[in-house]
Structure 1
Amino acid sequence: MNNLSFDKFVKKILIKAPLEKIYWCWSTEDGLTSWFLRASDHIRDGKRINHQETVKAGDEYLWMWYNWDGEEKGIVKEANGKDHIVFSFAGECTLDIQLRSLKEGTLLVLTQSDIPTDDKSKLNIYSGCSSGWSFWLTNLKAFLEHGILLHETSLDLRDDPNAAFEYVNI
C-alpha cells in the first residue's frame, strides 16, 4: 500500500456509461451543469466559448455551485479530447481526471494533488474536497446510470458556515 498523506488523495468510481459521455460531462459547460454546477463559463483567448464546446489546455474556467456564493476560478492544464483532463483547482491544487474503458463500464480516477499541508488546508481542502468529490462522483454515477440527481438545488444554505461540512448533498 502506498503511503497516504495530506498533500493528495485519489477517488475511483466505476460508471456504467460510455467514456465519451463521461468526458463530455467534465469538459463542456453543458456537461458540467448537467450533474455538478449551477453555472460554468469557459474562456479561450479572452472570449467565452460555446457552452457545447470541449475545453482545451490553456482555457480558463469559472465554476458556480448551488447553495454557495463562492466561485472556483482556474485553468485547464491538459485536455486530450478523449480520456484525460487536468484543471487547476482550489488555489494551487491540481485536479486530474482520467478515464479508462473496462468491460464493466468506465473507470473514473480523480486525483487532487499539490494540496498544502497546513492545518487549514488539511481541513478545508484535503478533508472538504475529498468528502465533496466522493459525493459528486456518486452524483455523476446516479445521473449517468439512472437519470437522477442527488444534490440539493433549492435549499439556501449560504448563511450556514458549516453547511459544506455537514450536508452530504451540496
Structure 2
Amino acid sequence: MKDDFDWRQFTIKIPISASPDEVFHSWTSQENLEKWFLRLAEFTCADGTRRKKEAQIQVGDTYKWFWHGYPDSVVEHGKIKENNEKDFLKFTFGEAGVVSVKVNPHEQGSMIELKQEKIPHFDTTEISYHVECKSGWTFYLANLKSILQGGIDLRNRDMSLNLD
C-alpha cells in the first residue's frame, strides 16, 4: 500500500466567537501575540529598528519568539512575508516551513484557518515539524479562542516544569 500522506503541510480550522477584526489583530503586534501565544514576541523592522510593542507588524519584519514554560534556548526566528492588514498573514516559521493565517466571517464570529506548508520532509521532520507543530498550533488556537471568548489563559507559565 502506497503511503500518500503529505507530511509537507497541514491545515487547522477553528471557529471563534469574536469578530474577524479582533481575531486577526490578535496576530499582528507584539502586545497582542503575548496575550495568547508567546512569552516574548520581538519584531525588528526591515531597517533594523525594533518595532514598538503595540505597533502593527509589516511585511519584511523579522521576529524572535519565546514561549512560556521553556527556557530562552527555545526560540523561533522568522520573517513576515505577507500581511494585508485585514484577514491574511503569512510568515516563515524557522526551518519548519511557512505559516499562513486566514480569518473569515463565520456564523456568530470568525473561522480561523492556519496552514503550515513547505515543511521539509525527512524522517526526522515528520515528528518534529509536522506532528509537533500541528499539536502546538492546535493548542494555541484553542487558547486564542478561550481568551477571546472570555475564558482563561491555558498556557503553562511555570518554568520549574521544564518543558524543554
Tell me whether the two structures share a fold, i.e. TM-score over 0.5: yes
Give the fraction of aligned pairs with identical amino acids, expressed as a percent: 30
| Aligned mates of 1:76, 1:27 — CA distance in 2 | 10
Q: Deviations over 1:52-82 (max 9, x none)?
A: 1111110111111112121111100000111
Q: Alpha-carbon deviation of 1:157?
A: 3.4
Partner of 1:33: 34
Partner of 2:118: 114
5+ residue gaps in structure 1?
165-170
| Aligned mates of 1:85, 1:143 — CA distance in 2 | 20
Q: Would you identify which runs of 4 or more consecutive aligned residues in structure 1 move more than 6 Å?
A: none
| Aligned mates of 2:117, 2:100 — CA distance in 1 | 8
Partner of 1:143: 147
Partner of 1:17: 18
Partner of 2:97: 93
Partner of 1:47: 49
Q: Alpha-carbon deviation of 1:155?
A: 4.2
Q: Do the aligned residues in 1 keep the contact of 2:18 with 2:108 (CA within 8 Å)?
A: no
- How high is the TM-score relative to the length of structure 1? 0.88
| Aligned mates of 2:104, 2:76 — CA distance in 1 | 27
5+ residue gaps in structure 2?
none
Partner of 1:168: none
Q: Alpha-carbon deviation of 1:18?
A: 1.1
Q: Deviations over 1:84-131 (max 9, x none)?
A: 000100315001000001232100000000011111110101010011
RMSD of the TM alignment (CA)? 1.4
Q: Alpha-carbon deviation of 1:4?
A: 4.2
2:129 aligned with 1:128:
no
Equivalent pairs, count: 158
